[in-house]
Amino acid sequence: MSHAAPTPFFAVREQALRLQGNASDYEALLDMTKDRRFVLLGEATHGTEEFYRMRAEITRRLIAEQGFDAVAVEGDWPDAWRINRFVQGEGTDGPSTALDDFERFPQWMWRNQEVLSFITWLQAHNAHQPVPQRTGFYGLDLYSLYRSADAVIRTLEHSDAEQAEFARRRYAALDHVREPQTYGYEASHGLRPSARDAVVAQLQQLRTQSLSEVERRGLAALDAHFFAERNATVVVNAEIYYRAMFGRRHNTWNLRDAHMRDTLLALSRYRIHRGGTGRVVVWAHNSHLGDARATESHVRGEWNLGQLMRQDTGDQTLLVGFTTYTGQVSAASRWDGDVERKWVRPALDDSCEQLFHSTGLDRFFLRLNDPAAQPLRTPMLQRAIGVIYQPQTERESHYFEVMLADQFDALFHLDETEALKPMPPPPHPAKN
């Protein structure tokens, strides 16, 4: 007598662990993270309160129970470094002012109540740890072309005035309008010389010393050097990125996610030099963290951070997705628009979110790197809401095809979610 193959519906019903709203909700995931060096926690939107809260709850336990000592987010390097100084017990910032360098759109991604609560906890936790083992908070992104250039100069001014002057001269090739996209357009169309050679020369200068050499001068010197070297790397990659926006030879998505991968690996090595474990938790969108090879973006020749980390580190990396069926979300209607509280339409038929909703399990954890998840290797739709949500064109703007069990190692689904609560903008004008 033959038996019908399990369906995706029954695979979810049989394997899902319903969330109870207490610490036990994360035990199955924490069992999966014990031997991992990198745990990548996603989000289906950039504006869902529960995603931020749950990632923070998981991260607190990874830090306190498993020795993870770095949090890396889909944010810019110099902006996140201000938070890092706060949680390390350095400088004069309080929790809310530590977020003030997140000035540009979309501010609410990191200027929100859930992040404020997490960094307040992290600063208090670190106060009881030896300085070299204090957990850090870092940014992985590359948009901060001018802010990173300024940060390199400022850092060198404190240690080597001559090198600071060299850096100032090299970065002068960028200083025409101090607007990254204008620079990219003009440089890519031959309307001004490219700063490529000058910014690469500055990075090479900073890389003449290795972390091993610098750490002999002490922890403060190691931190300052790594901050400057990563900022110089951002300048190099951002210069390429903004020129590529107006060219045809580069996929800017690939440039950005390769930069994130390189920053994440460099961060892990630095944390080890600093005296820590080099184990890192990442917070970013599902579209960056779910393996691109299991999505339709692979057909377009795109890769992402999750794919690159799996390829480079194998089983050292764990990919965890988060999805929602409906609810509210904080998002804009256009780029540079005001944040709005928007209703999230119920998920489309043929989507994984609709499948999850149909099971009647309103909130659950699902392990996907298991033979029992084989039926979830069937192609289906998945929703992605970034900083902009356009429900009037939802299918075209926010859905793509995935094979879920190959995309993530595990997943949290919440049937109905709430909008993230943004903080007021910082009390000074945005800078480039």
- 345-404 pLDDT, tens digit each: 999 999 999 999 999 999 999 999 999 999 999 999 999 999 999 999 999 999 999 999
Instruction: Assess contact for 123 and 86: CB atoms under 8 A.
Output: yes
Q: What are the residues whose beta carbons fall under 8 Å from the beta carbon of 55, sequence distance 6 or more?
A: 41, 43, 281, 283, 322
- Sketch the domain layout of the chain as residue ranges: 1-141+279-432, 143-251
Distance of CA 407 to the CA centre of its chain: 17
What pLDDT is stored for residue 5 in this prediction? 63
Least confident of 24-28, 87-91, 171-175: 171-175
The pLDDT of residue 322 is above 60: yes
Residue 373: partners with Cβ closer than 8 Å, 6 or more residues away: 11, 15, 366, 367, 404, 405
Residue 199 · residue 173 · CB < 8 Å: yes
The full DSSP string for 366-400 is EE-SSGGGGGGGS-EEEE-B-SB--GGGHHHHHEE
The closest alpha carbon to 105, from 85, 128, 75, belongs to 75
Q: Indicate the pTM of the whole model.
A: 0.95
Q: What is the DSSP string of 136-198?
A: EEEEEE---HHHHHHHHHHHHHTT-HHHHHHHHHHHGGGTTT--HHHHHHHHHTTSS---HHH
Mean pLDDT over 319-337 rounds to 97
Q: Which residues of 32-52 are buried (b: 16+ CB within 10 A; e: fewer)?
A: ebeebbbbbbbbbbbbbbbbb
Element (H, E) at 255: helix 252-273
- Give residue 266's pLDDT: 98
Length of the chain, in residues: 432
Note whether 411 and 404 are within 8 A (CB).
yes
Q: CB of 375 within 8 A of CB of 26? A: no
Torsion of CA 220, 222, 225, 227, to 10 degrees: -80
Per-residue pLDDT tens digits for 104-154: 899 999 999 999 999 999 999 999 999 999 999 999 999 999 999 999 999
Phi, psi at residue 6, to the nearest 5°? Answer: -60, 145
Question: Residue 211: which pLDDT band, with cuts at 50, 70 and 90?
Answer: confident
Average pLDDT over residues 329-343: 97
Instruction: Give kind and range of the element (H or E) at residue 329.
Output: strand 317-331
Q: How many CB atoms lie within 10 A of CB 190?
A: 8
Neighbours of 301 (CB within 10 A): 10
The per-residue pLDDT of the chain, averaged, comes to: 94
Biggest CA–CA distance in the chain, Å, is 82
CA distance 295 to 287: 9
Q: Averaged over 187-203, what is the pLDDT?
A: 91
Tell me the two tokens of residue 231.
């900022």
Res. 240: pLDDT tops 80: yes
Contacting residues for 87 by C-beta, under 8 A, at least 6 apart? 98, 119, 122, 123, 126, 134, 135, 136, 137
Supply 98's token pair: 């530590």
Residue whose tokens read 């889909």: 74
Counting residues of the chain whose pLDDT is more than 70, the rounded percentage is 97
Provide the CATH number for the domain formed by 1-141+279-432 in this structure.
Answer: 3.40.1660.10
- The mean pLDDT of 231-258, rounded to a whole number, is 91
